[in-house]
Chain A
Amino acid sequence: MQKFNISFLPDKKKVFITEEVNLLQAAAEAGILVKGSCGGDGTCGRCKVIIKEGNYTTKQTGKLTKEQLAGGYVLACQTTAESDLVVEVPEASRLSEHQVLLEEETVGEAVSQTSVDPLFKKIKVELPEPSLTDSMDDIERLKMAVRKETGIENLRVSLNTVSNIPGILRKEKWKVTVSLADVLGYTEIAAVESGWDYQKYYGLAIDIGTTTIVVNLVDLESGQTIAQKGSYNQQAVYGDDIISRIVHATEEKNGMEDLRNAVLKSLNELISQLASENHIDINVINYAVCAGNTTMVHLFLGIDPKYIRLEPYTPAINIPEPIRAEEVGLQICKTAWVYCIPGIASYVGGDITSGAQVIGIDKTEKVTLFIDVGTNGEMVLGNQDWLMACACSAGPAFEGGGIKCGMRAMRGAIERLDVISDTLDVEYSTVGGAKPVGVCGSGLIDCIAGMHKAGIIDRTGQFSSNLTNQRIRNGDDGPEYVIVSKENSGNGQDIALSEVDIKNLIRSKGAVFAGIRTMLRKMDLPIEIIEEIIIAGGFGRHISIKDAISIGLLPDAEFEKYKYIGNSSVKGAKMVLLSKTARDEAVQLATKMTYLELSIGNDFMDEYVSALFIPHTDMTLFPSLSE
């Protein structure tokens, strides 16, 4: 088999690949993250690169314009080398690293009101010296002392710890520092050090999102988050959504390894940055708690995800046990444990359990709706008496996926927007006040609401045929509305929303609302019963509840009922990391929740179709809009 050198510009990175590897894979190998929303199907057109030199074969999929073809553009996933190549990866085709919004407010915030009782801790003990009348063995002596100090009954010791124990105990006259790690059901004496001077120790709270990954470095003694970092989940080069990743993992050669390595690489990079910036050794990171959806957890642990997406949708495992970091491949202390928060079903995972726990949905009398307005659209409804969860698969539209001008809430994203009814002009504000380069979820909601109010689109999202305005024109995907013209944008391109985009968004919002209604229907409850609505997810901090209601995305409830909680998944992971009680409660919560399979019966489909309308086919559900 022939092999070729591919060098990528402007990074000047080189890889040596065989003729059957496409350029999307080659770029991944070179550490360059090219957008591969469709997972290399050739259907998303996001993986555009420019061939500067060399011979290649490429398949045309109609995703490139005439100008682009003339300019040497190809789709990386459809192109293989026939000689050495020089390839330029334009900025627009890259996954940008800074697209994760972190929540500053959690840094430095002591999490728990109760005392910190983390899953890993160090305690000081003094052992009674042995004598002729007390000749108990060293380990039993140690265990007894620990038991006396902590009250923990079920203690275990690894051979590793036992091997040098006699010397360690005697070195500082029976004063030792013992590291205790909680391993679901028993406590491990993870290490024993002589004397009472010990190094600080840390843990990680991790959110493995489909799109982004966030890691919090937590001081396990004080319970404080020392630092946090986020980045893109590098699995994105194998597809935007979990389904295309499962397909890649199960159908491509080495697919499973690709995905596992990608997420590990993302995590290990963040961890090593966090460690070096905070001047700590990775070996003092002694416990990690991860929250992720079921697919993410499978791929992270290297568990076959195949049947998650096949009827009747069964994951391999919902409640994983703690696993050694070394076995997982997480670069922290080798003997550290990695614990994944339990999930509920194939499409409602530990990230949701985690969030549900943070908001205390199982401890309140109030009927609470907890929604993650993301690609998977998970939601939980209930209170202390009953809990129900489902995933409505809203699609990535509100995260900017599948929308031509869509983007995540990062610098330059239009996050608020007003359409002036008579002139059809637009007033907007962007994240960071930068020149606009696209529209994020909250801006998209505003935009549809505004376009409908101004009469640009009808209730089904169809453009009105009798409006003439220079902002409305015919584009590649049919009629479109120009939000910002290229003269005023930050990337020299028009920012426009087409009818196709709008229908896409309507489908997403319809799925979310239909999910809510289907759960209520199962309980035979009216929508007014909901007393609190908590929105989670990277949905942009500035979503306008008013506009979300006016397009029918969210229930027509008083604004006071709404709360935004941000990345509740990582918050929950931190809670569990710092509290055994919280860990036990998380397991209970996951077991208690009833999963509602939306593909069974007609309820969801019926609700979905009736929600494909602005705001809804049944106007009586939106009384505040009929004034």
Chain B
Amino acid sequence: MAVNIVKDSYKSKVVEITVGTEANAIKIGGDSTLPFLHFEGEMPNKQVLCLEVFDMVPEGWPENLTAAYEGVMSDPVAWAKKCVEYGADMVALRLMSAHPDNSDTSPEDAAKTAKAVADAISVPMIVVGCGVEEKDAKVLEAVAEALAGKTCILGNATNENFKSITGACMVYGHSVVSQSPLDINLAKQMNILMTEMGLPNERIVMDPLSGAVGYGIEYAYSIMERARLGALMGDKMLGNPVIAYVGQETWKAKESKASVEEFPEWGEQAKRSILWEVVTACTLAQAGAAIFVLRHPESLKQLRVHFAKMMESNAY
């Protein structure tokens, strides 16, 4: 008996965002189907795999992670170059030193670092603040100006500080990460407020905040899924590509850090930690995430293979 392939037809698609300049520009999003259902619609762009760079030496990273960046961790420019060598599509610079509890770097100095990194690499950049909303507003304003013309993604804009960040990105031509705490409605509200300020919808990346596998990923999963379904059904305010800070979440997990001596039943830490990052990313890709900010180059390598396979057409 012949089986009829059931195909849904959607009236809308995920917004397509362009970052970077000219030859180095990449496109993100644009999907007109659920993730990897190539028989129903299009997934015109690849998943974007980024590696993270800190503007200060990060603390508490396990050895198998620091080993990958041996010798470059105190120099963000060199570190970023290393990331490009490892094959990152984009470099995600985290301006952690701007945190008042760290060295409280001034917005101007933070912007200088960002500029130096951007000038040294050929791939587009994501620049993320230190997480203190007030400080980030100032830091990202300065960064936006310093990186004028480079068409980056800056974030994270929250309910508290989105006005200044959005304003600066509008002027200097960057896209913005709009971050909201695991709630589809709040995500939508942020997007409405930002577009009402005049920021084009094609310049917003959503971060609904995700946890790692085992640490609340199911919430993020269902929220990303709802956003994707909303986008396909024509909800313009949910139709933005989703960014997932995978590395940041997974390398916090005990499973990524604890040694085999501590938990013999868990097996080798070096293997386990990579798997934690890879599985989290794969899971979120199934939910519809488009940009993955990773930490370990080995994870990036494995995901590259996996996604290439997933992007092969499965049309009937």
Q: Which chain B residue lies CB-closest to A608?
A: B185
- Complex Cα gap A387–B54 (Å): 59
Inter-chain contacts of A617 with B (CB < 8 A): 185, 188-189, 192, 237
Query: Counting CB contacts under 8 A, is B122 at the interface?
Result: no
**Residues 174-206 of chain B, each 1 if its beta carbon lies under 8 Å from chain A, else 0:** 000000000111101100110010000000000
Given contacts A460-B159, A465-B163, contact A606 B185 (CB under 8 A): yes
Contact A609 B186 (CB under 8 A): yes
Query: Counting CB contacts under 8 A, is A393 at the interface?
Result: no
* Contacting residue for A610 out of B159, B185, B193, B196, CB 8 A: B185
Q: How far is the CB of A626 from chain B (nearest CB, A)?
A: 12
Contact B163 A610 (CB under 8 A): no
- Complex Cα gap A617–B196 (Å): 13
Contact A460 B185 (CB under 8 A): no
Contact B188 A610 (CB under 8 A): yes
Q: Which of A434-470 contact B (CB under 8 A)?
A: 458-460, 465
* Contacting residue for A459 out of B183, B185, B186, B196, CB 8 A: B196
**Residues 594-627 of chain A, each 1 if its beta carbon lies under 8 Å from chain B, else 0:** 0000000000001001101100011100000000
Q: How far is the CB of B164 from chain A (nearest CB, A)?
A: 9
- A-B pair count, CB < 8 Å, reads 29
Q: How far is the CB of B165 from chain A (nearest CB, A)?
A: 13
Contact B188 A459 (CB under 8 A): no
Q: Which of B112-132 contact A (CB under 8 A)?
A: none
Inter-chain contacts of A618 with B (CB < 8 A): 188
Inter-chain contacts of B189 with A (CB < 8 A): 459-460, 612-613, 617
Q: Which of B130-172 contact A (CB under 8 A)?
A: 159, 163
Q: Which chain B residue lies CB-closest to A610?
A: B185
Contact B183 A609 (CB under 8 A): yes
Contact A459 B163 (CB under 8 A): no
Inter-chain contacts of A609 with B (CB < 8 A): 183, 185-186
Q: Which chain A residue lies CB-closest to B164?
A: A465
Given contacts A465-B163, A609-B183, contact A460 B193 (CB under 8 A): yes
Q: Which chain B residue lies CB-closest to A607?
A: B185
Inter-chain contacts of B196 with A (CB < 8 A): 458-459
Inter-chain contacts of A612 with B (CB < 8 A): 185, 189
- Complex Cα gap A619–B189 (Å): 10
- Complex Cα gap A609–B184 (Å): 9
Q: Which of A298-347 contact B (CB under 8 A)?
A: none
- Complex Cα gap A612–B186 (Å): 9
Inter-chain contacts of A460 with B (CB < 8 A): 159, 189, 193
- Complex Cα gap A617–B163 (Å): 18
Residue in B185, B189, B192, B193 whose Cβ sees the most chain A Cβ within 10 Å: B185
Q: Which of A21-62 contact B (CB under 8 A)?
A: none
Inter-chain contacts of B188 with A (CB < 8 A): 610, 617-618
Inter-chain contacts of B193 with A (CB < 8 A): 458-460
Inter-chain contacts of A458 with B (CB < 8 A): 193, 196
Inter-chain contacts of B184 with A (CB < 8 A): 606
- Complex Cα gap A465–B192 (Å): 18
Q: How far is the CB of B234 from chain A (nearest CB, A)?
A: 9
Inter-chain contacts of B192 with A (CB < 8 A): 459, 613, 617, 619
Q: How far is the CB of A61 from chain B (nearest CB, A)?
A: 28
- Complex Cα gap A538–B58 (Å): 60
**Residues 72-104 of chain A, each 1 if its beta carbon lies under 8 Å from chain B, else 0:** 000000000000000000000000000000000
Q: How far is the CB of A456 from chain B (nearest CB, A)?
A: 15
Inter-chain contacts of B185 with A (CB < 8 A): 606, 609-610, 612-613, 617
- Complex Cα gap A613–B189 (Å): 7
Q: Which chain A residue lies CB-closest to B192?
A: A459
- Complex Cα gap A619–B163 (Å): 21
Q: Which chain B residue lies CB-closest to A611?
A: B185
Q: Which chain A residue lies CB-closest to B191?
A: A617
- Complex Cα gap A465–B196 (Å): 15
Q: Which of A455-494 contact B (CB under 8 A)?
A: 458-460, 465
- Complex Cα gap A612–B185 (Å): 9
Q: How far is the CB of B235 from chain A (nearest CB, A)?
A: 8
Residue in B188, B189, B237 whose Cβ sees the most chain A Cβ within 10 Å: B189
- Complex Cα gap A618–B191 (Å): 12
- Complex Cα gap A460–B190 (Å): 9
Inter-chain contacts of A619 with B (CB < 8 A): 192
Q: Which chain A residue lies CB-closest to B230?
A: A618
Q: Which chain A residue lies CB-closest to B188?
A: A617
- Complex Cα gap A609–B223 (Å): 14
Q: How far is the CB of B161 from chain A (nearest CB, A)?
A: 11
- Complex Cα gap A612–B180 (Å): 14
Q: How far is the CB of A173 from chain B (nearest CB, A)?
A: 79
Q: How far is the CB of A608 from chain B (nearest CB, A)?
A: 9
Inter-chain contacts of B159 with A (CB < 8 A): 460
- Complex Cα gap A460–B196 (Å): 12
**Residues 213-239 of chain B, each 1 if its beta carbon lies under 8 Å from chain A, else 0:** 000000000000000000000000100
**Residues 207-229 of chain A, each 1 if its beta carbon lies under 8 Å from chain B, else 0:** 00000000000000000000000
Inter-chain contacts of B186 with A (CB < 8 A): 609
Inter-chain contacts of A465 with B (CB < 8 A): 163
Q: How far is the CB of A607 from chain B (nearest CB, A)?
A: 9
Q: How far is the CB of B174 from chain A (nearest CB, A)?
A: 21
Q: Which chain A residue lies CB-closest to B160?
A: A462
- Complex Cα gap A135–B237 (Å): 89
Q: How far is the CB of A460 from chain B (nearest CB, A)?
A: 7
Inter-chain contacts of A606 with B (CB < 8 A): 184-185
- Complex Cα gap A459–B189 (Å): 8
- Complex Cα gap A617–B184 (Å): 10
- Complex Cα gap A609–B183 (Å): 8
- Complex Cα gap A459–B188 (Å): 12
- Complex Cα gap A619–B159 (Å): 19
- Complex Cα gap A609–B159 (Å): 14
Q: Which of A159-174 contact B (CB under 8 A)?
A: none
Q: How far is the CB of A282 from chain B (nearest CB, A)?
A: 56
- Complex Cα gap A612–B193 (Å): 13
29 A-B contacts, Cβ less than 8 Å apart? A458-B193, A458-B196, A459-B189, A459-B192, A459-B193, A459-B196, A460-B159, A460-B189, A460-B193, A465-B163, A606-B184, A606-B185, A609-B183, A609-B185, A609-B186, A610-B185, A610-B188, A612-B185, A612-B189, A613-B185, A613-B189, A613-B192, A617-B185, A617-B188, A617-B189, A617-B192, A617-B237, A618-B188, A619-B192
- 6 other A-B residue contacts (CB within 8 Å) besides A612-B185, A612-B189: A460-B193, A609-B183, A613-B185, A617-B188, A617-B189, A617-B192
The 7 closest A-B pairs by CB, nearest first: A610-B185, A609-B185, A617-B185, A617-B188, A613-B189, A617-B189, A609-B183
